């Protein structure tokens, strides 16, 4: 049977489909995300949502219960093994179109799902209109991949070198934009005037070739490398002032105290000038970063304002199984220590004892301090 596909832009801005209604199953463990997808799909003429699922078993129950043309799915759901489950679905429902909508852009993960049989892979941080195009392309029989993934999938190592270098101030501003702070909030936090912040933002936009706050945030989400600080810069030492040969290592510092973070970044830079260091002050910001980088070591404060830093450990280990997480705290409570180690942390350190020699030992344990130049 030939499936006829045709699109046009009707007066209401939706998409019209030919020859029957497209039946869509929404699968995401967050109800608010499913609700957003449903509202978008309801704007399309000729498309209808016939079911929703929030975990693996519900996906299979819905697929077996009613005919489905398009499965719109975030594969990171409870009781759902992404690769094996997609392979099973592809065998059981060969005509089904599968569009993954995810926040994860790890190239190994994406390639595995494409090889397992999904028809498209779309990033959640892309504009809503891009998702509409993705659905259109997938239903037309084409394969869709978000443009932010293309360079990673073709293994283009030159991409990173084309990113513009940012100053410490510009990286800080970019982080505040990602957090959703307005100019006044940024000015109050940095102790600057609003006009000065506006001038800094203008230079930042020019540096990364964007026109607005939204474009700047999207740029940072697509290119998290720009948020990283080199160990040399963090320690304020020149690149040729390194008497020892170190390995490259990617480190994340998670602490809600900006002054302490800067202090820790300086010590890390002295311990390993070749490190690339990222910083975060909340669980949300942490997850935005770890989904985008290849993390090797994380130093996480147990108390992040009103949030529980220990809860981050398992999430980090899920995304980066080979990484090491060290919990730090100004309150070396025994219960914190027990919970932290049970969650997957390799150590629990008192901030008062976290000096330069200790940091060197921690970093040495991850990558080794001495190495031949590659």
Q: For residue 79, what pLDDT is reported?
A: 87
Using the 3D structure, point to which of 187, 202, 223 is the last residue of a domain. 223
**Domain co-membership, 26 together with 146:** yes
**Domain co-membership, 320 together with 240:** yes
Is 235 part of any domain? yes
**Domain co-membership, 116 together with 197:** no
Q: 71: closest CA among 95, 46, 97?
A: 97
**Domain co-membership, 101 together with 149:** yes
Is 4 part of any domain? no
**Domain co-membership, 56 together with 184:** no
Task: Please identify which residue in the block is written with the tokens 């832009």.
Answer: 9
Q: For residue 373, what pLDDT is reported?
A: 34
Task: Please identify which residue in the block is written with the tokens 């409870």.
Answer: 78
**Domain co-membership, 197 together with 324:** no
Give the CATH number, domain containing residue 69. 3.40.50.2300
Q: Which residues contact 147 (CB under 8 A, 6 or more apart)?
A: none
Q: For residue 50, what pLDDT is reported?
A: 94
Report the alpha-carbon distance of residue 187 to residue 192 in Å, rounded.
Answer: 5
Q: For residue 275, what pLDDT is reported?
A: 84
**Domain co-membership, 275 together with 366:** yes
Q: pTM of the entire structure? A: 0.51
The per-residue pLDDT string of the chain (374 residues; one tens digit each, 9 = 90 and over) reads 223 333 333 333 444 444 458 899 999 998 988 988 898 888 888 889 999 999 999 999 999 999 999 999 998 888 888 888 898 898 899 899 999 998 877 666 787 788 888 999 998 878 777 888 889 889 988 888 887 776 556 544 444 445 677 888 888 898 888 888 899 999 998 888 999 999 999 989 988 888 888 888 878 877 777 888 766 666 655 544 444 445 678 899 999 998 898 899 889 988 888 788 999 988 888 888 888 788 899 999 998 888 888 988 988 888 888 889 999 988 767 888 888 888 889 988 988 888 888 888 888 877 654 343 33
Give the CATH number, domain containing residue 173. 1.10.10.10
Is 9 part of any domain? no
Domain of 110 in residue numbering reads as: 22-153
Report the alpha-carbon distance of residue 163 to residue 142 in Å, rounded.
Answer: 31
**Domain co-membership, 106 together with 235:** no
**Domain co-membership, 114 together with 29:** yes
DSSP string, 35-54: HHHHHHHTTSBTEEEEEEES
Is 12 part of any domain? no
Q: How many domains does the chain have?
A: 3
Q: For residue 125, what pLDDT is reported?
A: 79
Query: Is the four-CA dihedral 147, 153, 156, 160 of positive or negative sign?
Result: positive
**Domain co-membership, 268 together with 129:** no
Task: Please identify which residue in the block is written with the tokens 């078993």.
Answer: 57
What secondary structure letter does DSSP report for 45? B
Is 86 part of any domain? yes
**Domain co-membership, 180 together with 291:** no
Report the alpha-carbon distance of residue 207 to residue 80 in Å, rounded.
Answer: 42
């Amino acid at each position: 049977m030939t499936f006829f596909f045709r699109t046009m832009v009707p007066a209401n801005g939706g998409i019209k489909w030919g020859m029957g209604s497209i039946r869509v199953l929404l699968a995401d463990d967050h109800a608010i995300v499913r609700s957003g997808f449903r509202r978008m799909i309801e704007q399309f003429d000729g498309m209808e949502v016939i079911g929703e699922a929030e975990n693996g078993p519900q996906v299979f129950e819905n697929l077996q219960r009613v005919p489905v043309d398009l499965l719109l799915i975030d594969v990171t759901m409870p009781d759902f093994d992404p690769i094996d489950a997609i392979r099973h679905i592809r065998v059981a429902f060969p005509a089904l179109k599968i569009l993954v909508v995810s926040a994860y852009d790890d190239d190994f993960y994406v390639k595995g799902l494409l090889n397992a049989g999904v028809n498209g892979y779309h990033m959640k941080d892309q504009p809503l209109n891009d998702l509409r195009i993705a659905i259109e392309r997938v239903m037309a029989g084409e394969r869709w991949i978000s443009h932010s993934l293309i360079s990673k999938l073709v293994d283009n190592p030159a991409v990173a070198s084309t990113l513009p270098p940012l100053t410490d101030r510009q990286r800080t501003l970019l982080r505040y934009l990602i957090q959703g702070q307005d100019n006044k909030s940024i000015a109050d936090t940095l102790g600057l005037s609003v006009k000065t912040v506006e001038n800094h933002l203008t230079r930042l936009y020019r540096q990364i070739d964007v026109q607005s706050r939204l474009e700047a945030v999207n740029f940072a989400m697509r290119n998290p490398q720009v948020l990283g600080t080199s160990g040399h810069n963090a320690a304020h030492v020149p690149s040729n002032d390194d008497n020892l040969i170190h390995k490259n290592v990617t480190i994340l510092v998670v602490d809600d105290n900006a002054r302490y973070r800067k202090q820790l970044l300086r010590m890390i830079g002295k311990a390993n000038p070749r490190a690339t260091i990222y910083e975060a002050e909340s669980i949300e910001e942490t997850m935005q970063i770890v989904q985008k980088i290849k993390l090797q070591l994380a130093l996480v404060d147990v108390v992040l304002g009103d949030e529980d830093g220990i809860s981050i450990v398992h999430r980090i280990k899920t995304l980066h199984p080979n990484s090491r997480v060290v919990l730090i705290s100004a309150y070396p409570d025994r219960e914190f220590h027990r919970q932290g180690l049970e969650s997957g942390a390799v150590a629990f350190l008192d901030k008062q004892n976290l000096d330069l020699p200790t940091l060197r030992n921690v970093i040495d344990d991850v990558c080794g301090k001495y190495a031949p130049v590659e």
